[in-house]
Amino acid sequence: MCCVIATFVVRLPLRTGEASTPERTPAVEIKDTHALDGVRILVVEDDNDSREVLQLFLEQAGAMVESVPSAKDAFAIFQRPANSLPDIIISDLAMPEEDGFSLIAKIRQLPKERGGQLPSLALSAFATNESKQRALESGFDRYCSKPFEPDQLTADIVALTRKLG
């Protein structure tokens, strides 16, 4: 009687959010590493990699960044004391459960002292005029498409900080 031994290699796809090997965060060139010094930014982005890249970029430009994965988590920040609120909100538009349009509508209903008039920037992979118009009509002050262009995003944030003064 002869024995045959076979070896099979099975490769299964990973579940969403898992990585087989550590991935390096893509480098983003920053021309002015002090452009956003002291600006407190709330980033709302459901995609972990996008959130990490954006946070890293903003921090390298001098911003103090708090990032959250959902509109629900973002709105909870507005329940904190007024002196701990961000200066600017950057939010993805297309998120599961509650999108950026709904989030900004809820924020805009808050009184000024609770953050209802904070400058905001919509971030979206949908680079259409309709998407931009809808974001601006829903309460965002600026619109930026993904992948973001570092100089333009920095310029938009600087312009929004002028709204603070």
10-residue mean pLDDT series, the chain (165 residues): 51 51 39 78 95 94 96 95 93 93 96 94 88 93 90 92 71
Q: Check residue 157 and give its pLDDT.
A: 94
Count of all residues that appear for the chain in the document: 165
pTM: 0.78
Q: Check residue 147 and give its pLDDT.
A: 87
Using alpha carbons, select from 45, 157, 43 the residue that is nearest to residue 99: 45
Inter-CA distances, 119 with 29, 31, 165, Å: 25, 23, 11
DSSP structure class, residue 113: G
Q: Check residue 108 and give its pLDDT.
A: 96
Q: Cα–Cα distance between 88 and 65 in angstroms, integer?
A: 10
Q: Check residue 14 and give its pLDDT.
A: 58
Q: Check residue 23 and give its pLDDT.
A: 39
Identify the residue whose tokens are 């309460």: 139
Domain 40-164, CATH among 3.10.129.10, 3.40.50.2300, 3.30.1180.20, 1.20.210.10? 3.40.50.2300
